[in-house]
Structure 1
Amino acid sequence: MQTFTLILAVLIGLEHLGIMALEIFAGPKSQAKAFDMPFNFVNLPNARVAMANQGIYNGALGLLIISSLFFFNGTALVTLLKLLMFFIMIVATYGGFTATKKIFGLQLLPATLVFILLWL
Structure 2
Amino acid sequence: MANLVKPFLLTALLALSGASYGQSLEIVLTQTEDEPGSLILTAIADSTGQMIRYDITAAQMDTTRILLEGLPKGRVKIYTFQDCNGNYHLDTDAEGTPTERCADARTELLSGKNTVQIPLRTIPRKKQE
Greater Rg by CA: 2
More helix by share: 1
Q: Is the structural similarity TM-score above 0.5?
A: no
TM range (shorter): under 0.3
TM-score (norm 1): 0.22
**TM-score, scaled relative to structure 2:** 0.21
